[in-house]
């Protein structure tokens, strides 16, 4: 058990779909938008300790500053109290993005290389045991996979993509590159040296030879900066070499939103991803995008920010020790989009075999056209983008346009 003072100021809210799951949330965050800005940069949620029933078998029972990027997932963490196995899933989210429809057509992500820059990965989880993994440690140089994060952020993001067990990820047969460049910062978050993150992004495309780089991280962009930071530069190089980059829009939505998506999702050709609630409405914490870029120039389609929305609230995924956690944020939504894109690249290999910045733009145009608007007669919204993602419609639009 835990001491009462360890949970001081934390509220436990039962999930509406299953009262056995409790989300630990700071009352100053979601629903209390005053002060959200500071929470993005330093919210310290208390995890709910796991008190699970005895298992019968082991089968499956920031440019943000000068040096630091903050992971965009200061989430309301959930674990399971007195849980009756098996735990619930977020199958609704996979259905919503069209992942299951694409999988039913035989797509798994095979022959596609997806790279994540995150806190690492814990491959001891049974749902991740069979992952085709290339691991690179930018923190301590370990030879084997490890997760340095607060509550295994990287392991959770990896599970959404490649879990193949009790949970089924979006694209379980991709080759996953995991670059561990972020770690627990001692104040309730995950962060990393910006140059280290930039080095990891470069490793993704230059050494790992990624087709897609999925970035569930980001930082506060500085409109007064005279030059771009190393992370933005690394992303631009990846794009110039024909690598698709998908990044989280950020979690500072609400009255204190600075009006800009996080960097590097603010780079024009990057696919910036907002988060949706289960009912299809935009999550209140999802960041708002500005109509102009960092140079003050008007953004044009298909690069208005954010570009697309995907489920990002109460997403259950893999965690350390074979457990399953629930998280909320644009980090989760980002992985859904990266996974759908991986399935599309498998279906249309010409999109990755002849990569170019022009091809990336064409793929984004198809994404824009295929997106399902959250409100009639609105082409683009500064918080939910062109609309919610539909994987089958995106693929159909790509084939119809005969691009790349």
What is the DSSP pairing of strand 183-184 with strand 190-193?
antiparallel
Q: What average pLDDT is seen over the chain? A: 81
Q: Count CB neighbours of 35 within 10 A.
A: 14
Statement: residue 58 has pLDDT above 90? no
What's the distance, CA 52 to chain centroid? Answer: 28
Q: What's the confidence (pLDDT) of residue 84?
A: 44
Rama region for 106: left / alpha / beta (φ>0; ψ in -120 to 50; rest): left
Rounded Cα–Cα distance for residues 273 and 364 (Å): 12
Q: Domain locations in the chain?
A: 9-401
Rounded Cα–Cα distance for residues 127 and 142 (Å): 22
Q: Does domain 9-401 have CATH number 3.40.50.200?
A: yes
The Cβ-side half-sphere exposure at 318, using a 13 Å CA radius, reads: 30
Q: What is the mean pLDDT of residues 130-142?
A: 95
**Among all residues, which ones are annotated catalytic?**
118, 153, 331
Rounded Cα–Cα distance for residues 355 and 240 (Å): 9
Q: What's the confidence (pLDDT) of residue 68?
A: 42
Q: What's the confidence (pLDDT) of residue 12?
A: 35
Instruction: Kindly indicate the confidence band of residue 257, based on its pLDDT and cuts at 50, 70 and 90.
Output: confident
Q: What's the confidence (pLDDT) of residue 57?
A: 35
Instruction: Kindly indicate the confidence band of residue 226, based on its pLDDT and cuts at 50, 70 and 90.
Output: low
Q: Taking the alpha carbons of 262, 267, 268, 273 in that order, is the dihedral positive or negative? A: negative
Of 8-22, 44-58, 174-188, 292-306, the poorest mean pLDDT is in 44-58
pLDDT in tens, 230-241: 999 999 999 999
Strand partners, 114: 176, 212
Task: For the sheet with 18-25, list strands across it.
Answer: 11-15, 18-25, 78-80, 324-327, 315-318
Do 122 and 317 form a contact (C-beta atoms < 8 A)? no
Of residues 24 and 137, more confidence is placed in 137
Instruction: Tokens 């570009």: give the residue.
Output: 307
Q: Which of 186, 163, 188, 187 is nearest to 176 (CA)?
A: 163
Q: What is the mean pLDDT of residues 247-252?
A: 93
| Secondary structure class of 275 (helix, strand, coil) | strand
Do 174 and 161 form a contact (C-beta atoms < 8 A)? yes
Q: What is the mean pLDDT of residues 53-78?
A: 36
Statement: residue 369 has pLDDT above 60? yes
Statement: residue 72 has pLDDT above 80? no
Of 21-30, 125-134, 342-351, the poorest mean pLDDT is in 21-30
Statement: residue 365 has pLDDT above 80? yes
pLDDT in tens, 98-126: 999 999 999 999 999 999 999 999 999 99
Statement: residue 130 has pLDDT above 70? yes
Q: What's the confidence (pLDDT) of residue 83?
A: 33
Q: What's the confidence (pLDDT) of residue 252?
A: 86
Instruction: Kindly indicate the confidence band of residue 3, based on its pLDDT and cuts at 50, 70 and 90.
Output: very low
Instruction: Kindly indicate the confidence band of residue 222, based on its pLDDT and cuts at 50, 70 and 90.
Output: low
Q: What is the mean pLDDT of residues 201-219?
A: 96
Q: What's the confidence (pLDDT) of residue 172?
A: 98
Q: What's the confidence (pLDDT) of residue 296?
A: 87
Instruction: Kindly indicate the confidence band of residue 171, based on its pLDDT and cuts at 50, 70 and 90.
Output: very high
Statement: residue 347 has pLDDT above 80? yes
Q: What's the confidence (pLDDT) of residue 136?
A: 97
Q: What's the confidence (pLDDT) of residue 318?
A: 95
């Amino acid at each position: 058990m835990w001491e009462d003072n360890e949970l001081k100021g934390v509220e436990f809210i039962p999930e509406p779909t299953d009262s056995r799951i409790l989300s630990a949330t700071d009352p100053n965050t979601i629903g209390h938008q005053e002060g959200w800005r500071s929470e993005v940069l330093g919210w310290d949620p208390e995890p709910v300790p796991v008190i699970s029933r005895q298992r019968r078998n082991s089968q499956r029972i920031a440019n943000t500053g000068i040096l630091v990027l903050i992971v965009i997932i200061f989430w309301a963490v959930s674990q399971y109290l007195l849980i009756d196995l098996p735990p619930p899933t977020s199958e609704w989210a996979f259905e919503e993005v069209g992942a299951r429809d694409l999988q039913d057509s035989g797509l798994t992500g095979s022959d596609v290389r997806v790279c994540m820059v995150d806190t690492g990965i814990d491959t001891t989880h049974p749902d991740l045991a069979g992952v085709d993994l290339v691991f690179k440690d930018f923190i301590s140089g370990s030879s084997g996979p490890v997760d340095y994060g607060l509550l295994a952020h990287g392991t959770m993001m990896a599970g959404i993509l490649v879990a193949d067990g009790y949970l089924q990820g979006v694209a379980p047969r991709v080759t996953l590159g995991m670059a561990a460049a972020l770690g627990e910062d001692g104040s309730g978050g995950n962060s990393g040296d910006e140059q280290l993150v930039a080095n990891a992004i470069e490793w993704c495309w230059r050494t790992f030879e990624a087709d897609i780089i999925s970035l569930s991280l980001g930082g506060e962009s500085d409109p007064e900066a005279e030059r771009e930071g190393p992370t933005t530069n690394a992303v631009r190089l990846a794009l110039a070499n024909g690598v698709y980059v998908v990044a989280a829009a950020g979690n500072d939505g609400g009255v204190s939103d600075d009006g800009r998506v996080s960097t590097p999702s603010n780079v024009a050709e990057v696919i910036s991803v907002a988060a949706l609630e289960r009912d299809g409405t935009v999550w209140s914490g999802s960041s708002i995008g500005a109509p102009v870029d960092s140079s003050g120039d008007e953004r044009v389609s298909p690069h208005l920010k954010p570009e697309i929305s995907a489920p990002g609230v109460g997403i259950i995924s893999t965690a350390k020790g074979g457990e399953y956690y629930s998280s909320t944020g644009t980090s989760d939504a980002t992985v859904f989009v990266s996974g759908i894109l991986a399935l599309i690249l498998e279906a249309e290999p010409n999109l990755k075999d002849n990569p170019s910045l022009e091809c990336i733009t064409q793929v984004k145009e198809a994404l824009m056209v295929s997106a399902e608007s959250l409100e009639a007669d609105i082409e683009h919204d500064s918080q939910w983008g062109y609309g919610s993602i539909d994987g089958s419609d995106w693929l159909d639009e790509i084939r119809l346009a005969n691009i790349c």
